[in-house]
Every structure is written in structure tokens, then in C-alpha cells.
Amino acid sequence: MAAQPVLEARGISKHYGGIVALDNVDLTLEEGEVLAVVGDNGAGKSTLIKALTGAIPRTSGTIRFDGKEAHIETPTDAKAAGIETVYQDLALVNEIPITQNVFLGREIVRDDWLGRLFGVLDFKKMDREIRDLFAKLDIRITDIYRDAQAFSGGQRQAVALSKTVMFGKRVAILDEPTAALGVRESQMAMDLVRSLKDHGLSVIMITHNMQHVLNYCDRVMVLRLGKLTAVRKVSDVDGDTLVGLITGTIEGDVRDE
């Protein structure tokens, strides 16, 4: 691990009035790794991700990206830095086609006066890029003009994950990518997550599935009651230990400085 981390967050806290949802959490993401974030319900996993990507304002904490101080205050800042996030339940708009979902917020306008003056879109170019992307990731969706709600949970997740390859230049953050999926679909989604590495992405992934942590991730950080309690290499840990750390029956070893 000679290379510097892609993402380095220090002292991330989030208070809602008097309630401390996230208390002084540090996070380091190394280049090309898949980092799992685990913890019980209410442990602060989603809050951590939202605070990292500017979806909610942080109470305190600093973020360094590629060793430099990064000002990530809104989701747009995060995207500009090369961080692409797939939110649970908030990944796709049901009512619009797959094509429009993939490019939502980053539609390509025509390279002529119609595009510059009226924002007329270059549908041909966007369709071509989506077909190339799906071919590259082996996503077998051909009818890209159908509304998102017509697809299965697994297909929808595949589309959402494909956006991280299309736009996430450095980091993909995934909030429970297999939450709503069946066994076979989960496996397909996780294979896709692992392939994100090959496309130059480092991955942070929230999950409840210990098998996915052990089979697909490189390191794991455990949150409990808003605090970071342990960080482990996956090769140094087993499922029982992880469950113990999550529930608190095994004492963590990360202390406040």
C-alpha cells in the first residue's frame, strides 16, 4: 500500500439536533479496493455515505481526495470529483426510460446551434454510449427505451451500477446494492460490483450480507451506534467475528483520539 489513498475522510460527524447519528468517523479508501461498510440498522452507514457525498450537510469533518483537500458539499461536487453514488431506492426514476435514467443530470446535447441554444439532445450519441456500456459490462438489456419500472430488480440494479462506470472516474459508492434482490440476482450484481475494479474504480459498499463481504470485498469497516468500532482486512476476519463486532458482543478496537 505504497500509493496514497483515493479517499480519506477524517472526523466525519452528523448531528440531528441533539441526536448524534455519526460520531467522528474516519474512512480511508485505497486505490482499487472494495471496502465494505457494515453495521446494524441505525448504525450510521447510510448517514456516512450521504455525508461523504454531500447529499446531507456534515456537522464536521474533512475529506481529502487524491491527497488534496476536497470541497464536497453537494452531490454535484462529488460527481465533479469523480465519485458516483448508487443510493438504495433512489437510483432510478420509474416513470422514465432506461436511456434517460442513465444520462439523468448529464444529458448530452447536440453539438450544433440547436443544442447550444435550446438544449436539444443528441439521442443517437447517448443511445450508442449506453449500448457500448452495456456490452462492456455484459448487461443484457436491449430494449433501452422502456420505462425503468418494467425491469426486474436485478436489471434495475445493473443499470444503476453501470452509471458508476459511465461517469464515476475514481470512486463508486453503493448503498446496499443487493437489498431488494433474490439470490441469483444478488450474485450477478456482486459480480458486476467486482468488475468495477477492472474499470479503474475503487468501491465503498454498504451491505448486510456477510457472505458478500467475505467473498467480494478487500477490507471491512464496522459501524456501531454512529461510531467506527473496527477496520479489518477481509482475509483476517471471519463471519462470526464480524457479527460479534456489529452486535457489540466483541469489543471493537478503534478508539477516539
Partner 1 sequence: MSDTQNSSTAVSNPGATSRTFERITHEFMHIWQVIAALVLIYLVFFVLSPPFRSFDTMLSIFGQASILAVLACGTTVVLISGGLDLSVGSIFAVVGVSVGILLSEVDLPVWLAVLGGLGIGAGLGALNGIVQVATGVPAFIVTLGGLTAYKGLAEILASGRDLSRFPDAFQVIGSGYIVPMAIMFAAAILTGLFLTKTRLGIRAFAIGGNEDVARLAGVPVKRSRIYYYMVGGALAALAAIMEVAKLNFAMPARGQSYELFAIAAVVIGGTSLFGGRGGVGKTLIGMLIMQTITVGLSYMGVGTSYQRIAIGIIIIVAVYWDVWRRSTR
Residues that bind partner 1 (CB under 8 A): 55, 75-76, 79, 85, 87, 90-96, 100, 104-107, 109, 118-121, 140, 142-143, 146-147, 150
* Residue with Cβ nearer partner 1 (55 or 225): 55
102-106: which pairs have CB atoms within 8 A and are 24 or more residues apart? 102/126, 102/130, 102/133, 102/159, 102/162, 102/163, 102/166, 103/130, 105/79, 106/167
> Cβ 154 to partner 1, closest distance in Å?
13
Nearer to partner 1, 149 or 211 (CB): 149
The nearer residue to partner 1, 146 or 233, going by C-beta atoms, is: 146
- Our CB check for partner 1 shows the closer of 122 and 218 to be 122
Residues with Cβ < 8 Å from 79, sequence gap 6 or more? 105, 167
The distance of closest approach from Cβ of residue 235 to partner 1 in the complex, given in angstroms and rounded to an integer, is 34
**Least separation in angstroms between CB 239 and partner 1:** 32
> Which one, 116 or 199, has the nearer CB to partner 1?
116
Other CB atoms within 10 A of residue 239 CB: 11
Residues 48-87: b if buried by 16+ CB within 10 A, e if exposed: bbbbbbbbbebbebebbbeeeebebeebeebbebbbbbbb
CB of 163 to partner 1, least distance (A): 9
Angstrom distance (rounded) from CA 41 to CA 17: 20
User: For residues 208 and 228, what is the distance between their CA atoms, to the nearest angstrom?
Assistant: 16
CA of residue 146 relative to chain centroid, distance: 25
CB-wise, 16 or 118, nearer to partner 1?
118
- How crowded is the C-beta side of 147, counted as CA atoms within 13 Å? 6
CB 157, min distance to partner 1, A? 14
User: Which amino acid belongs to residue 17?
Assistant: G
In the complex, minimum distance from the CB of residue 169 to partner 1, in angstroms, rounded to a whole number: 14
Give whichever of 69 and 143 is closer to partner 1, judged by the CB atom.
143
Tell the smallest beta-carbon distance from residue 100 to partner 1 (Å).
6
What is the Cα–Cα distance from 96 to 82, expressed in whole angstroms? 25
